Amino acid sequence: MAVSETAANKGGGVDNTGQHMMSEKLLQGPLPLYYQVAALVRNEILSGLWPAESQLPTEDDLVKRYGVSRPTIRKAKSLLAEEGFIRDIKGSGCYVNRPEYWNTTPPTVDNLNDIFHFGSKMSFRILEFGMVSNTMEVESKLNNPSDRFVFQIKGVRHYQGQPISSVVYYLPFRFGSRIPLESLDENPFIPQIERLAGVQVVEGIQTISLSLADEKAASHLGIDPGAAVLLVESVYFDSGQHPVEYVRSLYPDKLPYAIRVRRNSLSAASSAGTGGTNAGQ
């Protein structure tokens, strides 16, 4: 059973040059496009838009629909297949599996660097920084009850010159006290923190939900106070599973789900330092 493309939510299109335009539902931000495409298709399957045993659109149709490349679509399909949502039948197409085959736990990213693909294309403007009193919320994320103070950095992340998120970073006192502020620049923070504080980030957990923009975040992002925003809360860990950074990022969009990310090996970290890991950014 096939479901017509018009039955699905509209996505990308074609501009006047004949190039495919990226769907408005996809963000040029910290989440790789294939993950975002997989999340949209997964949600449509869970909502019943694509019933069990129905046939998904062809790769060409999905490329047009989301305005992304064929490799991106194939990577999204591969992820959904690993989760048990879909299967490919050679010579026939891609079909939705029955619910008993679905794995609905948060997906795992194979490579931490993947999740921060756009880090090297972003910049960060620091607005405020310094030691602040530890709070119950921060303590619950950093697991640092003995810290009276934590190191806080507030600022705005930019992509292609435009503000895309209002961000607050928190570091445990033992790491924040090691970082010479004059050494920080607009580049992604995780490689800088690793270098300056002598820590190695190997895993991160991002929880993504909806929130409302306060006055400061709204002014930074050019939106109305109280407008719906995407809240991305990230906690990053070293090889001993000790939290080394907690980040709250507000994006003017909606995409609620949580993911866990891990580096394949410590060798990937060295490349992240030069490739622009956006873990804390």
Cα distances from 91 to residues 58, 78, 94, 118, in angstroms, run 12, 17, 10, 36
The better pLDDT of the pair 200, 88 is held by: 88
Amino acid 53: pLDDT: 94
107 vs 90 pLDDT, higher one = 90
Question: 3-state class of 217 per DSSP?
Answer: helix
The domain of 83 spans 5-104
Q: Does position 137 have pLDDT exceeding 50, yes or no?
A: yes
Least confident segment among 22-36, 135-149, 177-191, 260-274: 260-274
Cα–Cα distance for residue pair 98/120, rounded to 1 Å: 40
The residue out of 69, 104, 139 marking a domain boundary is: 104
* pLDDT score recorded for residue 276: 36
* One domain, residues 248 and 124: yes
Same domain, 77 and 172: no
Please check whether residues 122 and 94 belong to one and the same domain.
no
User: What is the arithmetic mean of pLDDT over 144-159?
Assistant: 91
Check whether residue 80 and residue 164 sit in a common domain: no
At 208, which CATH number?
A: 3.40.1410.10
Query: Comparing 25-29, 55-59, 184-188, 267-271, which segment has the lowest mean pLDDT?
Result: 267-271
Residues 54 and 122 in one domain: no
- Which of 77, 104, 131 finishes a domain? 104
Q: Are 37 and 89 in contact (CB under 8 A)?
A: no
More confident position, 229 or 166:
166
Instruction: Yes or no: say if 190 and 204 are a contact pair by the CB < 8 Å rule.
Output: no
**Residue 254's pLDDT band (boundaries 50, 70, 90)?**
very low
Residue 109 included in any domain:
no
Average pLDDT over residues 72-85: 91
Residues 202 and 271 reside in one and the same domain: yes
Q: Would residue 186 count as lying in a domain?
A: yes
Same domain, yes or no: 122 and 100: no
- Is residue 228 situated within a structural domain? yes
Chain centre to alpha carbon of residue 59: 24
- Residue 162: the pLDDT is 82
Q: Would you call 50 helix, strand, or coil by DSSP? A: coil
- Classify residue 81: in a domain, yes or no: yes
Number of compact structural domains in the chain: 2
Kindly state whether residues 85 and 208 are assigned to the same domain: no
Last residue of a domain, one of 37, 72, 104: 104
Assess if residue 191 is contained within a domain. Answer: yes
Tell me which of 19 and 39 has the higher pLDDT: 39
State the Cα angle at 151 between 148 and 152, rounded to 5°: 120
What tokens appear for 118 in the block?
Answer: 């756009």
Q: What is the pLDDT of residue 260?
A: 53
Based on the domain organization, do 124 and 90 belong to the same domain?
no
Q: Which residue has the higher pLDDT, 188 or 169?
A: 169
Q: Same structural domain for residues 141 and 237?
A: yes
Quick check: is 110 in a domain?
no
More confidently predicted of 229 and 243: 243
Is residue 281 included in any domain, yes or no? no
Comparing CA positions, the residue from 15, 280, 59 lying closest to residue 171 is: 280
Q: Domain check: are 125 and 257 in the same one? A: yes
Question: What is the CATH classification number for the domain harbouring 43?
Answer: 1.10.10.10
Asked if residue 204 lies in contact with residue 182, where contact means CB atoms within 8 angstroms, the answer is no
Does pLDDT of 195 surpass 50? Answer: yes
> What is the pTM (predicted TM-score) of this model?
0.53
Please check whether residue 22 lies inside any domain of the structure: yes
Task: Looking at the structure, tell me whether residues 119 and 252 fall in a common domain.
Answer: yes
Average pLDDT, the chain: 76
